[in-house]
Chains A and B, each alone.
Chain A
Amino acid sequence: MFDVQNLVAFIVLSHFLTVLIAGSCIFFGVKLGERAVLRWAMTTASSHVLLKAILFALCWQGGHWGQVFDLGSWLHIHGYSLDFRFALDIPGTSFLLLSSFILLVITRFSLPSFVKDPGRDRFFFVLSLLGFGVTLISLSGNLDVHCIGWELTGLASVFLISFFRHNPRAVENSFRALIYYRMGDVGMLAATAVSHHHGSAHWLGASLLVFGTLAKSAQLPFSPWLPRAVEGPTASSAAFYGGVAIHLGVITLLRRPEIWMDVSALRIAMGILGLATLLFAVSVGRSRPDAKTHLAYASMAGVSLLYIELSLGWLNIALVHLCLHAFFRTWQFLRASSLLQDFQENPVAYDWLKNRTEREPIRSAWRRKFLIWSVHGFFVDAIQIRLTSRILNFFLTIVRWEESISSELSFRMRGKR
């Protein structure tokens, strides 16, 4: 009765329609009532979960794993055509189900938060953008479709970091995240190009693919955007950096083991990067005195463990770990504001904190230096931004030069009139 292909098409289309409708409401300035918007958000979120659960059940029962099919194509240029190819596999479908469940919880969680907020429509639009992107990533059969979803989720993340548009720091941090995402996207697009040229299992394509996933997963050297990304509302931080978006890199690799599993040098590199990120995230995260950046680094550490598991070839363990990690971190992020209350209601908390031997002050200068460096994130942030700003300054000087010339010219022309 239910054709799996039709179901996949339906899911993708319904996500696309959600994005379109939400976007048009904002674009054309249609203001819906509070209860209408909330009900609509909950309905779409729950129906998506239902559809994906059906998909998962069908695949499980019918043994459709590994099935690849095309749902049309677009753009025929010089022998290249953008095929909408979709593939069903266990990591993809289970992550799809997991992520839509988390998004349902996040939607329910964020309903009361945005009640009188002027940015309410924006928030739900961006959330639907994330949903669409994740669907494409989880179900994509070729890297082209994957890239579309990849870019959309990056965009959604940037929009949500800068949700509070009047906070200059939030806007700056969203730009920083955008820069890191774009660097990863270069790798992703290049990997797509290589896959068209050389077929799938090629060492260059594999390395570019892995390189591309590093930015989204906040692995070294692309880590510094993550702690800065907690400027958005708590609900969105939970969805993106706790549950869904941060795991997209790992899911990409889990779905395509045939590309990178044979390149052993790459796996060693992945393992080393994962280990380095783990040590980095744990040292910096432990020194953080505030709740949300603490959690951001913990998330980073969790994902680095996933990379280590991938490099060791433990794919099934990685998948299970991913799902559990997603639940746990989302829950922790959602409860981040309860910290004070937890400490207050816990009668032993303050005394326990006071008596901790680990809180003995540091006496040695080297350990203090290490702590201070870890508080500042080992300056990875500062060094990278310095490099980038040198490059950006170059373009900025060109822009200024152009501005001064054009204002000079327009002045002269106005003078002539």
Chain B
Amino acid sequence: MKGIGEFLPFQNPLNTFVHNNPMQPFERFAFPDALLEISKRYRAKSIWSEHRFRKMFQKGRIEASDLRFAIEEHNRKGGRQLDEMELIHTKPIDAGVLIPKSLRVAQRWERGALEPFNRRIHDLLIPFISVLLDQGMSDTRAPFGKNFSLWGAFCLWVDALPGAVQDGYSEIKKAVQYYKDLNLNSSQIIEAELKQVDLPLELHRDYLEEILFDLPGWGGMIQRLAAVPEQAPIFSWDLDLLDWLAVRLLCEHSLHRAYIGIYKRLPEIDEKKRLSPEAKKAALERLMVWQAASERAIQRSLISRMRTLPTLQEPQREAQILFCMDDREESLRRRLELVAPEFETFGVPGFFYVDMKFKGYGERRRRNQCPPVVQPRRHVDEVALDGSIPGTMRHTYAVQFYSASRTELRGLLLALMGGLITFVPMMLKASPRLELRLGKFLGSLLKSKRKTKFILNGENGFSLTEQADIVRSLLVNHGPGQKLAKVVVILGHGSTMTNNPFRQAYGCGACGGNHGAPNSRAFCEMANDANVRAILKSRGFLIPDETVFVSATHDTCSDEIELKSDLSPPSAAIWASLKEALDEARKGHVMERMRWFADAPANLSPERALEHAIIRSRDLAQPRPEYGHSRVAACIVGRRSRYRGADLDRRAFLVSYDPAIDFDGTVLEQSVMGTVPVAANIALDYYFSTVDTNRLGAGSKLPLNVTSLLGVMTGSKSDLRFGLATQMTEIHEPLRPSMIVEATRENVEKVFFGNDRLKRLTVGKWIHLIRLDPDSDYYEQYTACGWQEVFPTKNRVGRANV
């Protein structure tokens, strides 16, 4: 029973949603074993079925050379040998064969009896748990105070139920009363219940896990809130996962007893019709060969694109732009360099090393503007220059309106008034372009032009030395170092969209899913500060006086780029030409985005495309405002000059790193630690949500229903959904991410095998690690048999410096 909830999905409440690998607990296994374990527990397909891979093969996405390479790699490991004939021409394997037979009693009665049985239990448990964990969505008083455990609350709940009303309720009441009289705690209850099960002892744990994973979303949320109660936005309790398991087990067995009268017999456990473990392993190996082949196809495509470079002018030192490493920025950077190659771009972690707890103007709560693994300690506030505090009246009215609109009399009056008012937005819905123009007009009228400033070194803020450290480390690790231009733009990004419970998933992952604007502005204020520059000068890091740091933001959904600070004349001229170049780049970038949307108007001109992007972001009805990180396949850590201008089709995270200045690997370590795990999380999150969207993802966005302010359910009652929705993953190919690192072998091994998680990911083959030699065009991949060269070119000058 110990650690039974270990493999429940790792997810945060929706307001702090951030891309985590929900299957992170499985990372301790090697990837193929992890897939088996995931199939077993979640009863989900953890890899694409063979017919999908074969379709990709027929379409030419996977070439014969990729398949042969994957087969050879598999055959080298020993064991059963595969060949092309078998993979292409025999009966295709469906990934569902990896799912083991259910141990639960209900499915032995007759075919299809498990589903309705589940529903009866869910009809009781889901209202219970959603009301218990409710953060305040309902208008009534909370039924239980903080000093109730989950089991205690359940006892009270069941007490209040009338026994005769539903099959099984009387049985549940009897069982609860029995255990209450004995005054057992939940682990003892579980043991007592297990005695009634007619399975052999070694299957008991599997049985318990299967029961627990019947509602993995709720289980995972309970476990998360039990471990970190502060994650809950408003109310938190003392929760225990074992209580939940005891409750669930009790309901299951009580309902058996209630139904046994109807079915009157308990058939034996059926051993046939499921694959033996050996057969499952063989099936999985075949599917893994296909998976490896499809990943190799992507790697081949990316590396060949990195080798076909347009000839571009060398960057002059007039302006430099630091983008977030996000894959969505890849096309904007590439277009900018094509249009204006005199500007230099860099890819840095989007929080710009400013790990802060930020409180914006008018906000009451702080949010962590940094990657989830980093614990920020410093506080930064945004206040108005004139010291005013914004009024909260209209916000209070809004919340009261929400609450009152569902009551009787107040609801009636509000419905009458509201009906009159909502006529206008409803009419506007019929014509989105009109709505856009009107919205712009009203926005310009109502937008508060209040000037604000950041307080960086207030109470609990960043001291000047810390600020100097931040500026220096970012510029040295990822940026231009001391070779600074006159204008350095720090471009953060975020995403505006509406009517989307997964909004946080589209934000800047390095800022915890929030908008990157505060970090960009904070960094610029630090770097522009004369005191900070003085400290840096005393340390030997000289920032030229004429260099100005400019803060900007890119909205990845509506593709608007906004400048945040004022500039004096010489920089203003450079900024003007930069702005023109950015506008031009935006147009190309938007056209690239629009071709993926099936409902974008045909034959768009660039101006119309930009307008359409804005409409998509403001449209209440749009479930696909942007495709987020869909299609991401790689993370490239290295010098931009190696692949400047390569068309990577928005499929890679790009981190700037210069191996020439890194002798002992410390710079690589700092560069990789903040970026590669984030990239891995995002890619793996997309992988699992794509392969089985019903069990490992959130299904379609359309029937999703926000519950308890913690998460979403499908329809009126269901498990709490984790993972991503279909509308976010439909164009994604499930792949393990490839990390292409330009560094010496020594440094790569030091960094990737020096850190626990990175080592697990690399050795367990959750990510592909490819090393690009800094001195030649030589790629090698880390495999089980050590480093092996991949994708050799015909004309390679010089040997690799290993």
Contact = CB atoms under 8 A, between A and B. Distances in A.
Interface of A: 34-35, 38, 46, 101-102, 104-105, 108-113, 115-117, 164, 166-170, 172-173, 227-235, 278, 282, 285-295, 297-298, 301-302, 305, 321, 323-332, 334-344, 346-354, 356, 358-363, 367-369, 371-376, 379, 382-383, 386
B96 interface: no
Contact of B702 (A35, A227, A234): A234
A108 to B, nearest CB: 5
Interface stretch (B207-215, B270-278, B328-336, B414-422): B414-422
16 contacts: A35-B602, A104-B430, A109-B620, A111-B621, A113-B702, A289-B707, A289-B708, A331-B425, A337-B704, A338-B500, A340-B709, A354-B235, A359-B142, A362-B142, A362-B144, A386-B165
Given A289-B707, A368-B156, A340 B14 contact: yes
Contact of A324 (B134, B420, B718): B420
Given A173-B716, A346-B395, A347-B395, 17 more contacts: A168-B119, A169-B716, A170-B703, A286-B138, A286-B140, A286-B406, A287-B131, A287-B140, A290-B708, A291-B137, A325-B416, A328-B418, A341-B498, A350-B364, A351-B364, A360-B141, A379-B166
B714 A386 contact: no
B143 interface: yes
B429 A292 contact: no
Residue among B408, B425, B503 with max Cβ neighbours from chain A (10 Å)? B408
Contacts of A293: 705, 716
Nearest to B138: A289
Shortest 6 CB-CB distances between A and B: which pairs?
A324-B419, A361-B145, A353-B136, A231-B715, A233-B702, A289-B134
B528 interface: no
A386 B140 contact: no
Contacts of A330: 422, 426
Contacts of A301: 406, 408, 411
Given A105-B429, A294-B406, A324-B419, A228 B716 contact: yes
A282 B392 CA distance: 29
Contacts of A164: 700, 703, 715
B717 A115 contact: no
A337 B234 CA distance: 20
Given A286-B139, A337-B501, A349 B395 contact: yes
Contact of B144 (A232, A278, A361): A361
Contact of B500 (A298, A341, A362): A341
Interface stretch (B47-55, B397-405, B769-777): B397-405
B106 to A, nearest CB: 14
A382 B140 contact: no
B426 A331 contact: yes
B135 interface: yes
A46 B498 CA distance: 25
Interface string B614-650: 0000011111100000000000000000000000000
A305 B363 contact: no
B499 interface: yes
Interface of B: 14-15, 115-116, 119, 127-128, 130-131, 134-146, 156-157, 160-162, 165-167, 233-235, 362-365, 392, 395-396, 398-400, 402, 405-408, 411-412, 414-416, 418-420, 422-423, 425-427, 429-430, 498-501, 503, 597-599, 602, 619-624, 694, 700-709, 713-718, 730
Contacts of B426: 101-102, 105, 327, 330-331
Contacts of B705: 230, 290-293, 336
Given A233-B703, A288-B138, A343-B709, A375 B127 contact: yes
Contacts of A383: 165
B498 to A, nearest CB: 6
B619 A112 contact: yes
Given A113-B623, A337-B500, A344-B15, A292 B716 contact: yes
A346 B364 CA distance: 9
B234 A353 contact: yes
Name the residue in B134, B399, B704 with the highest tally of chain A Cβ atoms < 10 Å from its Cβ. B399
A372 B705 CA distance: 21
A288 B707 CA distance: 9
A172 B619 CA distance: 33
B568 to A, nearest CB: 34
Give the secondary structure class of A's interface.
helix
A116 B716 contact: no
B415 A302 contact: yes
A358 to B, nearest CB: 6
Nearest to B623: A113
B706 A334 contact: no
B140 A371 contact: yes
B793 to A, nearest CB: 39
Contact of B718 (A169, A335, A352): A169
Given A113-B702, A331-B425, A369 B234 contact: no
B717 A169 contact: yes
Contacts of B622: 112
Contacts of B624: 112, 115
Nearest to B156: A368
A358 B141 contact: yes
Nearest to A170: B715
Given A332-B405, A353-B234, A386-B166, A327 B419 contact: yes
Contacts of B425: 331
A403 B283 CA distance: 39
Contacts of B119: 168-169, 172
Contacts of B396: 348, 352
A325 B145 CA distance: 37
A335 B429 contact: no
A353 B234 CA distance: 8
Contact of B623 (A112, A167, A341): A112
B428 to A, nearest CB: 10
Contacts of B364: 347-348, 350-351
Nearest to A343: B709
A292 to B, nearest CB: 4
Given A164-B700, A359-B141, A347 B399 contact: no
Contacts of A352: 396, 399-400
Contacts of B619: 112
Nearest to A361: B145
B131 A339 contact: no
A334 to B, nearest CB: 6
B458 to A, nearest CB: 19
Nearest to A288: B138
Contacts of B362: 347
Given A105-B429, A347-B395, A336 B166 contact: no
Contacts of B135: 353
Nearest to A166: B694
A227 B126 CA distance: 14
Nearest to A292: B705
Nearest to A229: B716
A356 B234 CA distance: 12
A156 B397 CA distance: 38
Contacts of A326: 419
B405 A349 contact: no
Contacts of B419: 323-328
Contact of B392 (A290, A325, A348, A372): A348
Contacts of B415: 302, 321, 324-325, 328-329
Contacts of A109: 429, 620-621
Contacts of A231: 703, 714-716
Best-surrounded residue of B365, B623, B624, B713 (most CB of chain A within 10 A) = B623
A102 B134 CA distance: 33
Nearest to A374: B140
Contacts of B235: 354
A289 B131 contact: yes
A410 B429 CA distance: 61
A288 B730 CA distance: 32
Contact of A108 (B136, B414, B430, B714): B430
Nearest to A332: B405
